Structure 1
Amino acid sequence: MKANLDETIVVARSLADCFRYVKDFSTIEQWDPGVYRAEKITSGPVHAGTEFALQLNVAGARLSMTYQLCSFVENEQLVLEGEGRNLHAVDTIDFRDCGDGRTEIHYRAELRLKGVPQIASPAFMPVLRKVGSKAVGGLKTALTLPAAAPTTGFNAALKDRLVLPAALDFTERGYLAMPNKALSQFMDGKTVVITGPTSGLGLAAAKEFSRLGASLVLVGRGQARLGEARQEILAFSGAAENSVDLVEAELSLMAEVSRACDEILSRHKCIDVLVNNAGVLPLSRQVTAEGNELTLAVNLLAPVLLMHRLLPALKNASGRVINVASGGMYLSGVALGDMQFSKGAFDGTKAYARAKRALVSLTECYAEDWQQFGVDCHSMHPGWASTPGVAKSLPVFNKVLARKLRDARMGADTVVWLAASQELAGLSGGFWFDRQVHTTAVVPGTALSSGKSRALKRWVNNVLGLEGNEPLGLTR
Structure 2
Amino acid sequence: MIRLHETIRVARSAADSYRYLVDFSTCEQWDPGVYRARKLTPGAPQVGGEFEVTVRMFGRRTTLSYRITDLAANAHIALEMQGAGIRSSETIRFEENSAGETTIDYRADFSLSGALGASEIAMKPVFKRIGRKAVAGLREALTIRTEPPRQSWVSYAADRSMLLAAPGFTERGYLALDDKAHSEFMDDRVVVVTGATSGIGEAIAAEYARLGASVVLVGRDADKLAASRQRVQDFAGGEKTRIHTEQADLLDVAATTALGSRLVEKFAKIDVLVNNAGALFHEHALTDDGFERSLAINLVAPFVLTETLMPALLAADARVVNMSSGGMYLQPLVLDDLNFENETFSGNKAYARAKRGLVALTRHWARRYGDAGVNFNAMHPGWVATPGVTESLPGFDKVMGRMLRDARMGADTAVWLGAARAARNCQGEFFLDRTPHPTAVLPNTAVRPSDAQTLYGWLRNETGIEVHGVG
TM-score class normalised by the smaller sequence: over 0.9
Structure 1, unaligned runs of 5 or more: none
- Closer/same/farther in 2, CA of residues 346 and 99 from structure 1, 3 Å limit: same
Moved over 6 A (4+): none
> Which stretch shows the higher mean deviation, 397-406 or 336-345?
336-345
Partners of 1:391 and 1:117 in 2: how far apart? 40
The CA deviation at 1:124 is 1.5
Alpha-carbon displacement from aligned partner over 1:25-62 (angstroms, at most 9, x marks no partner): 00000001111010000011111010001111112211
- Show the counterpart of 1:410: 409
Unaligned ranges ≥5, structure 2 = none
Task: Give the counterpart letter for 1:317 in structure 2.
Answer: A
Report deviation, 1:279.
0.3
Q: Which residue of 2 aligns with 1:309?
A: 308
Deviation at 1:462, TM superposition (A): 1.4
Residue 473 (str. 1) matches residue 447 (str. 2): no
Match of residue 386 from structure 2: 387
Task: Map 1:191-202 to 2 at 5 A.
Answer: 191-202=190-201
Deviates more, 1:265-274 or 1:146-155: 146-155
Q: CA deviation at 1:451?
A: 2.3
Per mean C-alpha deviation after superposition, the further-off stretch among 312-321 and 281-290 is 281-290
Q: Return the offset for 1:372.
A: 2.8
Counterpart-to-counterpart distance in 2, 1:60 and 1:357: 40
How many angstroms apart in 2 are the aligned matches of 1:117 and 1:201?
Answer: 39
CA contact (8 A) 2:147 2:425 kept: no
What does 1:291-310 align with in structure 2 at a 5 Å threshold? Answer: 291-310=290-309
Which is further off, 146-155 or 123-132? 146-155
User: Mean alpha-carbon deviation: is it higher for 421-430 or for 220-229?
Assistant: 421-430
Distance 2:422 2:61 in 1: 35
Moved more, 235-244 or 361-370: 235-244
Structure 2 Cα separation of the partners of residues 380 and 216 of structure 1: 20
Measured against aligned partners, the alpha-carbon deviations of 1:145-175 in whole angstroms (never above 9, x if no partner) come to 1131222222221211121121110000000
Is the contact made by 2:364 and 2:449 (CA closer than 8 Å) also made in structure 1? no
Offset at residue 135 of structure 1 (A): 0.4
2:460 touches 2:467 (CA, 8 Å); kept in 1? no
Deviation (angstroms), 1:120: 2.8
Q: Which residue of 2 aligns with 1:443?
A: 442
Structure 2 length normalisation: TM-score? 0.98
Q: Which SS does the other structure have where 2:212 is aligned?
A: coil
**Which residue of structure 2 lines up, in the alignment, with residue 372 of structure 1?**
371
Match of 2:260 in 1: 261
In the TM superposition, 1:337-352 aligns within 5 A as 337-352=336-351
**1:382-402: CA deviations, max 9, x gaps?**
000000000000000001101
Query: How far apart, in 1, do the equivalents of 2:250 and 2:362 lie?
Result: 19
**1:6-405 pair list within 5 angstroms:** 6-116=5-115, 120-405=119-404
Q: In the TM superposition, what is the alpha-carbon distance from 1:14 to its structure 2 partner? A: 1.1
Query: Would you say the 8 A contact 2:310–2:468 is kept in 1?
Result: no
What secondary structure does 2:36 align onto?
strand
Q: Deviations over 1:299-352 (max 9, x none)?
A: 000001111000000011110100000011011111111100112221001000
C-alpha distance after superposition, 1:411-435 (max 9, x if no partner) = 0000000010123224311111100
- Name the amino acid aligned to 1:415: A
The one-letter code of the counterpart of 2:404 is: L
Return the offset for 1:107.
0.6
Q: CA deviation at 1:116?
A: 3.5
Contact in 2 for aligned 1:149/1:423 (Cα 8 Å): yes
Helix, strand or coil at the partner of 2:96: strand
**Separation in structure 2 between the aligned mates of residue 147 and residue 282 of structure 1, nearest angstrom:** 40
Q: Quick one: structure 1 residues 410 and 117, their matched pair in 2 at CA, closer, same or farther if it must change by over 3 Å? A: closer
Distance, in Å, in 2 between the alignment partners of 1:394 and 1:118 is 47
TM-superposed CA distance for 1:98, in Å, is 2.1
Once the 2 structures are TM-superposed, how far is the Cα of residue 119 of structure 1 from its aligned partner?
6.1
> Contact conserved, 1:330 with 1:440, CA < 8 A, in 2?
yes
How far apart, in 1, do the equivalents of 2:113 and 2:188 lie? Answer: 47
Per-residue CA deviation, residues 55-109 of structure 1 (Å, 9 max, x unaligned), is: 1111221111110001111111110001112211111111111231210001111
Q: Confirm or deny: 8 A CA contact 1:218 1:247 kept in the other structure.
A: yes
Q: Residues of 2 paired with 1:33 and 1:27: CA distance?
A: 12
Structure 2 residue matching 1:425: 3-state secondary structure: helix
Q: Secondary structure at the match of 1:169?
A: helix
Distance in 2 separating the partners of 1:257 and 1:118: 61
Whole-angstrom distance in 1 between the partners of 2:258 and 2:119: 68
User: What secondary structure does 2:403 align onto?
Assistant: coil
- The secondary structure found in structure 1 opposite 2:359 is helix
CA distance in 1, matches of 2:58, 2:165: 26
Q: Within 1, Cα distance between the matches of 2:16 and 2:330?
A: 43
Q: Evaluate the alpha carbon distance shift between residue 118 and residue 216 of structure 1 in structure 2; reply closer, same or farther with a 3 A threshold.
A: closer
User: 1:353-375 CA distances to partner (integer Å, 9 max, x unpaired)?
Assistant: 00000000010011011023211
Q: Please tell me the residue identity of whatever aligns with 1:420.
A: A
Partners of 2:423 and 2:446 in 1: CA distance? 25
CA distance in 1, matches of 2:119, 2:141: 33
- Secondary structure at the aligned position of 2:397 is classed as helix
Using structure 1 for the length normalisation, give the TM-score: 0.97
Are the counterparts in 2 of residues 193 and 216 from structure 1 also a CA contact under 8 Å? yes
Change (3 A) 1:382 1:195: same
Alignment CA distance shift 1:432-1:112 (3 Å)? same
**Amino acid aligned to 1:34:** G
Does the Cα contact within 8 Å between 1:382 and 1:411 map onto a contact in 2? yes
Task: Give 1:43's aligned amino acid.
Answer: P
Supply the distance in 1 between the matched residues of 2:63 and 2:117 (Cα, whole angstroms): 23
> Hey, what's the Cα distance between the residues in 1 that align with 2:340 and 2:118?
71
Residue 87 of structure 2 aligns to a residue in which SS?
strand
Shift of 1:111: 0.8
- Identity rate, percent: 45
CA contact (8 A) 1:374 1:426 kept: no
Partner Cα separation in structure 2 for residue 266 and residue 117 of structure 1 = 61
Q: Note if contact 2:116-2:123 (Cα within 8 Å) is conserved in structure 1.
A: no
Moved more, 307-316 or 141-150: 141-150
Q: Distance in 1 between matches of 2:184 and 2:399?
A: 36
